Amino acid sequence: MTVRKVRAATIGLVIAALAALLILLAWAWLQPGPMGFASGKRVDLTAYRGQSPTGVPIELTSADLVARGRYLTQAADCEACHTAKDGKPFAGGRPFALPFGTLYTPNITPDKETGIGNWTDAEFLRAVHQGVAPGGVRLYPAFPYASYTMLTDDDVRAIKAYLASVPAVHQKNQANTLQLPYNQRWLMFFWSMLFNSNDRFKPVDSQSPEWNRGAYLVEAAAHCGECHTPRNQIQSLNNRLKFSGGVAEGWNAYNITGDKGTGVGNWSSEELASYLSSGHAAGRGTAGGPMAEAVNLSFRHMTRSDIAAMVTYLRSIPAIQSENIPDRLADSASPMHSRGPAGNPIGKRIFEGVCASCHAWTGKGAIRAEAQLTGSRAVNDPSAMNVAQMVLGGSGAGSNGAAGMPAFGAIFTDSEAAAVANYVTARFGSVPSHIDAADVAKLRQQSNATVTSRDH
Ligand code: HEC
Ligand code: HEC
Ligand code: HEC
């Protein structure tokens, strides 16, 4: 090739790359925001006529800054991600296994050397709203700043004040193991440009103060969409399918739109409130995995009025039907519940020997209402993902502090875990699952459980 041809080809490539970037930008611009579904004019906070949807609930408005910050830190669930298994709160080190390596959360305790004790308010605001750490270091969106960007400056400052009051932990951050090109932090500049609005919360004028409070809590603080909204190819939330189901650390975060069959449209508001504040709704299942953690560290600490506001907002989200789960739960009087499926002798042996004492032959729960298997979405999910995760990891202390479900990950082989999961869905769900040892091995990797398989 001549020099001229090479130059022409290079120019062609640059133009093609620029065009691709422009198309991507235009496409990103056309994506609805998290509150895009709601009709009505969005106004600045100062222009909203109702009571302000931001800040802390009335019970706490006269509390000191640290107490207010504590409530907001819990509502935003900073502790869940910034605490390692058996580690000190907020000292970081929790692994996030991504397809291209592992990312560890940093220490956000006030230790001056290894934590964020030296950060100014402005630096902290920039990190939480824009995903940029001091020195211009770009942060990965596994830190959900595209949601937190909606938090008001006052609320972020209150969170900082609370974090400054927790015990400082001297613990160095663990380096991530991301591969090229994912280890190039500056690339997050483009991600942010496309997917982080960097806009503070704007209430919808025509909606009630309760709805707007719910919107602020759900979208800006509790970031429900980060788990419950599916993602597109470039890992941004697809709000056209808002809340219709996503994946979180190897768990299915189910459809929580108002769809009656595959969502929570048939749940009463009381049931939703109960599930959020205690991790359990009678006859509808018990929160496990990442949801149990969110309930324990976050939602459980919210006031009744804040939980009610979140439920009001949740109910207004358009119903979307999921395709990957059956739109009916198993018939509550199914004879299969007492008889059990044939053709899975290993699953049967384990269920009868290990599980039935707590869950009862009928799956109605023998020890506590929380142990009811029938009626739960997880048990009616033919991927059996959450059932298998529950078998591997258990529920720790249980969703509300009572004796929970033990972890069997270190006891069962991958094929045993698969067999008992398949047995449970066939016996108590509407469509039997067919997972195998390889599926269970994958689930072990995706979850934060540190127990490794006995099959290997
Ligand atoms: C879903 C998990 C998750 C939640 C929830 C979360 N973070 Fe993080 N955070 C991360 C990850 C992962 C990183 C590291 C990102 C990186 O290395 O690029 C991070 C980084 C940070 C940093 C940068 C620290 C440094 O040394 O560079 C700060 C500050 C921070 N988070 C504060 C918070 C606060 C405050 C909250 C709650 C309002 C919060 N995080 C909630 C996952 C989370
Ligand atoms: C860290 C990820 C994560 C976050 C954040 C999260 N969820 Fe969940 N949620 C899950 C998972 C995973 C499940 C399934 C739990 C199970 O099967 O035991 C779930 C289950 C649920 C269910 C029960 C659905 C059913 O059909 O059984 C409801 C309702 C729910 N979440 C609502 C919410 C709301 C509202 C928020 C925000 C206030 C929220 N979740 C935030 C991961 C999350
Ligand atoms: C010591 C009692 C105990 C044993 C043994 C036990 N479980 Fe559980 N299990 C529970 C409790 C309690 C819960 C509710 C979780 C909570 O309270 O945090 C639960 C929850 C579950 C769930 C989630 C239900 C939902 O609502 O989505 C599944 C699935 C499950 N167990 C399956 C099993 C299987 C399979 C076995 C046998 C390998 C087993 N359990 C053994 C006590 C037990």
Ligand nearest to the CA of 283: 3
What is residue 392's predicted lDDT score, i.e. its pLDDT? 95
Q: Estimate to the nearest angstrom the gap between the alpha carbon of 396 and the chain centroid.
A: 18
What is residue 456's predicted lDDT score, i.e. its pLDDT? 29
Q: DSSP code of 98?
A: E
Q: Which comes out higher in pLDDT, residue 371 or 307?
A: 307
Specify whether the CB–CB gap between 269 and 315 falls below 8 A: yes
Please tell me the distance between residue 369's alpha carbon and the centre of ligand 1 in angstroms: 36
Query: 36-50, 206-220, 331-345: which has the highest mean pLDDT?
Result: 206-220
Closest C-alpha to 71, from 298, 309, 312, 305: 298
Percentages (nearest 5) of helix, strand, coil residues in the chain: 45, 5, 50
Q: Is the CB of 263 under 6 A from ligand 2?
A: no
Convert the pLDDT of each residue in 234-247 to its tens digit: 778 999 999 999 99
* Amino acid at the residue 93: G
Return the ligand 1 atom nearest residue 223 CA: 5
**The residue to which tokens 């709601």 are assigned:** 38
* Distance (Å, whole) CA 250 – CA 213: 31
CATH of the domain spanning 336-446, picked from 3.30.70.2860, 1.10.760.10, 3.40.50.11740, 1.10.540.10? 1.10.760.10
Closest C-alpha to 431, from 324, 280, 290, 348: 324
Q: Is the CB of 388 under 6 A from ligand 2?
A: no
* Distance (Å, whole) CA 302 – CA 325: 31
Specify whether the CB–CB gap between 444 and 451 falls below 8 A: yes
Average pLDDT across the chain, whole number: 92
Closest C-alpha to 409, from 373, 371, 370, 440: 440
| CB within 8 Å of 115: residues ≥ 6 apart | 90, 91, 107, 108, 109, 168, 169, 171
Please tell me the distance between residue 291's alpha carbon and the centre of ligand 2 in angstroms: 5
Specify whether the CB–CB gap between 110 and 164 falls below 8 A: yes
pTM summary value: 0.93
- Residues flanking ligand 3, CB < 6 Å: 285-286, 288, 350, 354-355, 357-359, 367-368, 370-371, 373, 376, 378-379, 387, 390-391, 395, 398-399, 404-406, 408, 420, 424
3-state SS, residue 281: strand
List the domain boundaries for the chain. 1-30, 55-195, 221-315, 336-446
Q: Is the pLDDT of residue 402 over 90?
A: no
